[in-house]
Structure 1
Amino acid sequence: MTAPSTPASAAASADRRLSLTTRILYGAGGAASAIKQRGLSTFLLLFYNQVIGLPPQMVSTAIMFALIFDAFVDPIVGQVSDNFRSRWGRRHPFMYIAALPVAIAFFLIWNPPEGWEHAQIFAYMLTCLLVIRLFDTFFELPSSALAPELAKNYDDRTSLIALRGFFGVAGGLGMTLLAYQVFLRENADGTGGVLAQEGYFSYALCAAILIFIIILASTAGTHKYIPELRKPPTRKITFIGMAREVAHTLNNRSFVVLTISGVFMSMSLGVKGGLELYFFLYFWELTQNQLSLLTVAGVIASVMGVSLAPKVAAKMGKRNGAISMFAGAVVALLGPIALRLIGWMPANGTDFLFWILFVDVIANGAMAMMTGVMLASMIADVVEDSEVKTGRRSEGLLFSFDNLFKKVVSGVGVFVSGAVLAFVSFPQSAVRGGVDEEVLRNMALIYLPTLLFFYAIAIGCLFMFKIDKAAHEENLRKLEETALKAQAERDAGPTGPASPPVTGA
């Protein structure tokens, strides 16, 4: 069992208010992974399919393999970082190590060698993806696992996670906006744009540099708190013993229902991420300037979401707030496509259509942001609930297993998106406005019911989450009581109260 903190240190940790600089630097860490993730989810399938010329099934298969690999790396990194001992604590060594490899691999994936066969390009792409996923886990998982220690208060941790979520969305969308307006800008004569390879070099270089700087700055921003963070006990444990501990930690009802909900949500997000740009370019026939404005709408949505999430969570509770916002986000996401299929949306190319989509992106993004913040904060609340039951502090393990299932099924979702494109016979080197309407309609008819089914299960699972504010505060009380008892036993020693120290010769 992990030795609890002393009462003094526990109280100090619980009462501590992080400085604004620390909160900003910690939160900014979310931008590094978001720049990487947003780039891969928005452009990678389109880039390797429409620009490089790989069949969509090959691209989506590589993405799926990389996500599944990443998913199984997560719990290993989580368990190791929970029990790692160094003068820089449990988490920070992994975070520092991640910066350079993930930045280099992200640059390389957008600059494949010329003249290679499809199989060679597939292997190159997959290798880059595996390196990106591995070292991004080295940073993102330990960094996320710091949140429950940095902010123990029920509402404070929602605010801290909301700030990290804001930087994540703003960073990812901001880099996407730069891609549309600067690096992958479409020229007046129709040349350039996301379908031209030459712009991806500058985009990749800028993104890689930002990822490197953000990881180092965010890690250094919490470095001074290392002495206050939990230290794992020195112990020897067998593989079987560790497996038992893992199983015991994960056997938490609230964690299980959050994981199941996340599985179905992530599968939907995998499908959505793979096909979103196809819908914008070919279903709605938006220009890149319009796509840039929708990216701005996403930033507005993230500001709204991060501002409102703590208020909604405080008023409704995290669970009920997440359920309500989740349902609203699904309606906003799927509503316009459903209305188009029944002929109730304005024609493509009209300003009225664009502004409907603009408002819809804000509504969907704000509610999705609030949902994500509250779900992450709910996972953080499981940490103390698990510690009460097991006696072990296992933030890394809990966050990693939550990510494991999400990444596996999101990989399946991306694979499904590639299969959908192949099933509807989506054309190679497609031109905006030149794709057959029947192909687009079939794509939408598969997309809508698939996402609606998965999202319905994800929302339904959340009703079984049981840790509210009162339960969390009771868990904190029990942990402090345990810490006080352990401190009293140490003070008493093996034979009774400690004797006063002897002075003099």
Structure 2
Amino acid sequence: MAVTQAGKPGLFTRLSFGIGGAADGIKNNGFDYALLFFYSNIMGVDAGLVGLALLIALIIDAVSDPVVGYWSDNMRTRFGRRHPFMYAALIPTAITYFLTWNPPEGMTGNDLFPWLVATTILVRLSFTFYDVPSSALSAELTSDYDERTSLMSLRYFFAWFGGLTIQIMLFRFLLVPTEEIPVGVFNVEGWNTYGLISAICILTAVAICALGTHSHIPRLKAAPPARNLTLGKIFSEIFETISNPSFRALFLATLCGLIATGISATLNQYINTIFWEFDNTQIANLTMGVYVSAVLALIIAPVVGKTFGKKRGAMTIGALAFTIAPLPVFLRLFGVLPPNGSPELFLIIISITIFDLSLIIATQMLLGSMVADIVEDSELQTGRRSEGIFFAGISFIRKLSQGAGVITASMVLAVAGLSQGGGVDAATPEEIRMLGWGYGISLLTAWTLMLICISFYRISRESHADNLEKLKLRQAQQDAG
């Protein structure tokens, strides 16, 4: 049974909220890593047109975030503020995601451009209707400082778990070669089945999150009284809300962190194959190690948050993680590590990677929880609860900053003199050395800026408790007339 908003949600509620993150992980994994390849290499759409379609959908989606966030903050229904959006997104998200990976038969090449634009826009918009309101629930299900960390830790854990599992399923079990298709990645039926399974998983995760938290609706915060608002007043309230200093700190920290993520995701292929010269089996083992990292992060984040506080904890493990990540590359550049091809080298790299990624994921968990704590801080200043706006703002910067890391990584490759498609034999020792320096320095720069931004976050355990007391006193005075 659910408990009061200030208390500890039950295990069923926490798991339901956490499993909802799997939908985010599955959708992002497909859109970020597979969609461009599927439409350009399998369906024959010009890569430039695919990129344009994804960009159009991304921009429209990013603009929709604050609209949905504000709308859900002010929604007045018998089902509360958040759940109507979550239920409304349930079927459209699953159907449009399925259609994205199952274009009409007989339609190929650039003729698919309108289909791709339409389906990706619909997927992103329908998913925003789920993701922003459901994420905002983390600040409503409990006001407890540490319980919010536990909730967001489960959310991020299932996002990583869901995204990784669907990726392994795709390449291990669906994209299999046949007599007619000797190279598995060109198996169109495998991609079609991937779309179906992913859509079912997204539908299931969204339904579990919505239904599993439904019983809390009577205890969730109600929308403010109905007001006659002009468009100018609405935007004035939005800008007043996001002017919160702690939100600005996390907004910029998220931007820098995503640039680092983009750099790492883009360059890891080059680092693993060209710099370390790992084979496919070793790279697959590195991928499987993400499961271990996610489990470790699920343990680390709540403990660190409870021991050090969220800001201090995020900065501490973040600084450790961001120092460790490029360290093996620097050690290789100075000739300290064992040679490529030795089993000792792979053991060192996979051990460091698992530990380091667990710290990075734990940092993400703490930052997500820190967003929730801004809600009461802002409510004291504005008199409004704006969970939707804050989580929409973080979602907004995530989407608009996706390309920044890729652009930075491309600059590193250009400076190193490496071209896409080149293998180990095509790279000179000088190019490999420049790749290592560019990878390490660019990551350290982005992550250092991220930590600097986090340092401007103002909310601590003590100030959060003080905010809750002040809000309780204000409510008592209002109730007294």
Instruction: Give TM class, smaller chain.
Output: 0.7 to 0.9
Residue number in structure 1 paired with 2:190: 199
Q: Deviations over 1:395-446 (max 9, x none)?
A: 0011111221232112333455567778856355x6x656544766665554
Q: CA deviation at 1:349?
A: 4.6
Q: CA deviation at 1:183?
A: 2.2
Q: Does 1:362 align with 2:354?
A: yes
Q: CA deviation at 1:19?
A: 2.0
Q: Does 1:95 align with 2:86?
A: yes
Q: Does 1:36 align with 2:27?
A: yes
Q: CA deviation at 1:299?
A: 1.1
Q: 1:361 to 1:46 in 2, by over 3 A?
A: farther
Q: CA deviation at 1:184?
A: 3.4
Q: Please say which structure displays the higher CA radius of gyration.
A: 1
Q: 1:169 to 1:129 in 2, by over 3 A?
A: same
Residue number in structure 1 paired with 2:69: 78
In 2, distance between residues paired with 1:441 and 1:113? 47
Segments of structure 1 that go 5 or more residues without pairing to the other structure are: 1-10, 490-505
Segments of structure 2 that go 5 or more residues without pairing to the other structure are: none
Would you say the 8 A contact 2:44–2:108 is kept in 1?
no
Would you say the 8 A contact 2:176–2:187 is kept in 1?
no
Q: Deviations over 1:349-394 (max 9, x none)?
A: 5433332332122112210111011101111110000001111010
In 1, distance between residues paired with 2:413 and 2:126? 30
1:218 to 193, 205, 209: 209
* Structure 2 counterpart SS, 1:13: coil
Would you say the 8 A contact 1:301–1:366 is kept in 2?
yes
Q: What one-letter code is carried by the residue in structure 2 that aligns with 1:200?
A: W
Residue number in structure 2 paired with 1:290: 282
In 2, distance between residues paired with 1:18 and 1:451? 38
Q: 1:303 to 1:220 in 2, by over 3 A?
A: same
Residue number in structure 2 paired with 1:395: 387
In 2, distance between residues paired with 1:307 and 1:61? 40
Aligned residues: 474
Would you say the 8 A contact 2:22–2:162 is kept in 1?
yes
Q: TM-score scaled to structure 2, two decimals?
A: 0.88
In 1, distance between residues paired with 2:38 and 2:277? 18
In 1, distance between residues paired with 2:22 and 2:188? 25
In 2, distance between residues paired with 1:229 and 1:96? 17
Q: Which residues in structure 2 correspond to 1:423-442 (within 5 Å)? A: 426-427=419-420, 433=424, 435-437=426-428
Q: 1:376 to 1:61 in 2, by over 3 A?
A: same
Would you say the 8 A contact 1:30–1:165 is kept in 2?
yes
Residue number in structure 1 paired with 2:442: 450
Would you say the 8 A contact 2:380–2:467 is kept in 1?
yes
Would you say the 8 A contact 2:43–2:108 is kept in 1?
no
In 1, distance between residues paired with 2:339 and 2:184? 24
Would you say the 8 A contact 1:302–1:366 is kept in 2?
yes
In 1, distance between residues paired with 2:280 and 2:185? 8
Q: Deviations over 1:250-303 (max 9, x none)?
A: 121111111111111122223333444454455545444434322321111111
In 2, distance between residues paired with 1:304 and 1:138? 31
In 1, distance between residues paired with 2:278 and 2:354? 17
Q: Does 1:144 align with 2:140?
A: no
Residue number in structure 2 paired with 1:25: 16
- Does 280-289 or 403-412 show the bigger shift? 280-289
Q: Does 1:175 align with 2:163?
A: no
Would you say the 8 A contact 1:28–1:218 is kept in 2?
yes
Would you say the 8 A contact 1:176–1:295 is kept in 2?
no
- Does 337-346 or 294-303 show the bigger shift? 337-346
Would you say the 8 A contact 1:73–1:134 is kept in 2?
yes
In 1, distance between residues paired with 2:238 and 2:20? 27
Q: Deviations over 1:222-249 (max 9, x none)?
A: 1111122122122221111112211221
Would you say the 8 A contact 1:147–1:157 is kept in 2?
yes
In 2, distance between residues paired with 1:145 and 1:115? 42
Q: CA deviation at 1:60?
A: 4.7
Q: Which residues in structure 2 correspond to 1:116-155 (within 5 Å)? A: 119-155=110-146
Q: Which residues in structure 2 correspond to 1:99-498 (within 5 Å)? A: 99-111=90-102, 119-184=110-175, 192-194=183-185, 199-232=190-223, 233-277=225-269, 279-280=271-272, 283-414=275-406, 426-427=419-420, 433=424, 435-437=426-428, 446-489=438-481
Residue number in structure 2 paired with 1:500: none
In 2, distance between residues paired with 1:273 and 1:121? 28
Q: What one-letter code is carried by the residue in structure 1 that aligns with 2:64?
A: V
In 1, distance between residues paired with 2:403 and 2:119? 16
Q: What one-letter code is carried by the residue in structure 1 that aligns with 2:71?
A: V
Would you say the 8 A contact 2:65–2:393 is kept in 1?
yes
Q: What one-letter code is carried by the residue in structure 2 that aligns with 1:264?
A: C
In 2, distance between residues paired with 1:121 and 1:445? 41
Q: What one-letter code is carried by the residue in structure 1 that aligns with 2:393?
A: F
Would you say the 8 A contact 2:20–2:206 is kept in 1?
yes
Q: Deviations over 1:119-155 (max 9, x none)?
A: 4455544433322221221111100101111011111
In 2, distance between residues paired with 1:334 and 1:96? 43
Q: 1:360 to 1:293 in 2, by over 3 A?
A: same
Q: Deviations over 1:20-53 (max 9, x none)?
A: 1111111100011111112333334454555556
In 1, distance between residues paired with 2:270 and 2:51? 14
Q: CA deviation at 1:328?
A: 2.4
Q: CA deviation at 1:323?
A: 1.0
Q: What one-letter code is carried by the residue in structure 2 that aligns with 1:372?
A: Q
Higher relative contact order (CA 8 A, sep 6+): 1
